[in-house]
Amino acid sequence: MQPSEALGIAAQVAVTLAGFAGVVVVFRPESTHRWSALDRFRLHLLLTNSIYPLAFSVFGMLLLTINPPPESIWRWCSGVALLVQIPGALVSYKPVRSMRPNEFKGVSKLLFYPLFVAGVLTMLLQFYNVAVLNLFWPFFATIAVHLVAAMLQFMRFVLPPVKSDG
C-alpha cells in the first residue's frame, strides 16, 4: 500500500470516529456539563485521538502533493506530530490531576497501561524517525495508535462497564 492510500484511509477512519463522538454526545441522556469529570475526559480523549490522525494524515498528503516530494518528508511529518503531541499530552494531563481517586473507578488498567506505553513508544519512535530513519511506517504508527485509542474510547462510551454482583 502506498503512503498516500494509507493516509487517505486513516483520514476517513479519523473523520468517522470524530463523528461517533457527536453520536455519543447526542444520545447521552444528560448534557455534557452534567457528565462526570471522567466521562468528559474520555470524550476529550475520543476527540483528540480522532483529530490528531486526521490532521497528521492531511499534513502528510499535503507534503505528498509537492512534486517531487521532499526527501525528508517523513522527518517533517514526524516532527509536526511531535510538536502537536507533546503540548497535547501536557494539556490532557492537567484535568486528570484535578480528579479525585474515587472518580477513577471503572477505569480499565488493562486498556490504560498498554495504550499509555504504546503512545510513549510511538512518540519516542517519532524522535528516532526525525533524527535517523526518515521512513513512513514510524509516522503511520503514531496515526494507528491514536486511531486504536479513539476506537477504544468510543467502545468505553457505548459499552458500559460490567458491574459485579458482590
Q: Give the torsion sign (CA, 89, 94, 55, 21).
A: positive
133/110 Cα distance (integer angstroms): 32
Q: What percent of the chain has pLDDT over 90?
A: 57
Q: Where are the domains of the chain?
A: 3-98+106-158
Max mean pLDDT range (22-31, 91-100, 123-132): 123-132
Query: Does residue 61 have a pLDDT over 70?
Result: yes
Among the listed residues 82, 73, 61, the one whose alpha carbon sits nearest the alpha carbon of residue 14: 61
Q: Residue 127 contacts by C-beta under 8 Å, 6 or more apart in sequence? A: 78, 82
**CA separation for the pair 155, 91 (Å, rounded):** 23
If you average pLDDT over every residue of the chain, what do you get? 88
Q: How many Cα atoms occupy the beta-carbon half-sphere of 118 within 13 Å?
A: 15
pTM over 0.85: yes
The H-or-E segment that residue 100 falls in is none
